[in-house]
Amino acid sequence: MAATTLKLTNRSPKQPIKKLPASIELGPDATVEDVKKIIAKEARIGDFNRVGLYDPSTKKTLKNRKARVVDEEGVSSAGEVLVKDLGLQISWRTVFVIEYLGPILIHLAVVAARPYLYKNAEGDMSQTQWLTLGMIVLHFVKREFETLFVHKFSANTMPFSNVFKNSFFYWAISGALCAYFIYSPTSLAAQADIPVVDAIGAALYLFSETGNGLVHRYLSTLRSTGGTERKIPVGYGFGLVTCPNYMFEILSWVSIILVSRDWTVALFIAIGGAQMFQWATGKERAYRKEFGDSYKKKRFVILPGLL
């Protein structure tokens, strides 16, 4: 099959790519990523990940970088694609590492500096406070491990500015806010004297973290390294909800609420749960659209009987 010509149009006329060619020649099997690389070379953009491609009719981004251009209906029918410089990029893996490192360092730092941060904090922390510290730090250490060795990302990068927005949530709320209130000598965790509550919370935590880790490991097996393909997940709680990894994540933080008795932890997972609900709803729509009748539709996306 002969090469085809693809017209290129700036997505943002007020911020155009100055050296964007009017068109490029493509082979029949050229992918979205191939187009990005050609444009980056022609327009002298150092990182091809900066190149954003959009459907000319819907104005939606072409997310699947491995998809053939001829299979993108809006682009192939119009013979045109909209192009935008997305700015400085950073890998998803790096962003996740930075996000999760903050709470680990902050919680350890607050405990170390406890005598200087609070009045009457000369004594040791309560057993419940130490347990809460271990649960929170272990949670984020697990996330770091999964980021480095388990997760497979469908997208290469995200805008560099996102690292600040994404990290603020973890560093400020699950990090600084939670740490300051939990390790205070006047916190409910400092005054806790019901060991059975701690035991129940710890048991729920171990169950939830294990479940979350198993789901993440299973999901990583559904995608090839560097691939963007999706398969219908089964088992591991997928018969109950769209995203059981979010279900286990929420249960894990519920266990930390039980042990810490602290409102800041509840605030953190309430905000996080709202975001996870949006992500899971979008994922349910994507599964239904991509797999049709072969996908068993879910009524609840993160919590059975609730959400």
Q: Whole-model pTM?
A: 0.93
Judged by DSSP in three states, 294 sits in helix
Q: What is the pLDDT of residue 2?
A: 57
Number of H helices, E strands in the chain: 11, 6
> 58 CB contacts (<8 Å, ≥6 apart)?
74
pLDDT digits (tens, 9 = 90+) for 97-131: 999 999 999 999 999 999 999 998 888 999 999 99
Query: Which domains does the chain carry?
Result: 4-87 (3.10.20.90), 90-294 (no CATH)
State yes or no: pLDDT of 181 exceeds 80: yes
Mean predicted lDDT score pLDDT of the chain: 95
pLDDT digits (tens, 9 = 90+) for 154-164: 889 999 999 99
Is the Cβ–Cβ distance between 202 and 261 less than 8 Å? no
Selection from 173, 179, 185 nearest residue 274 by Cα: 173
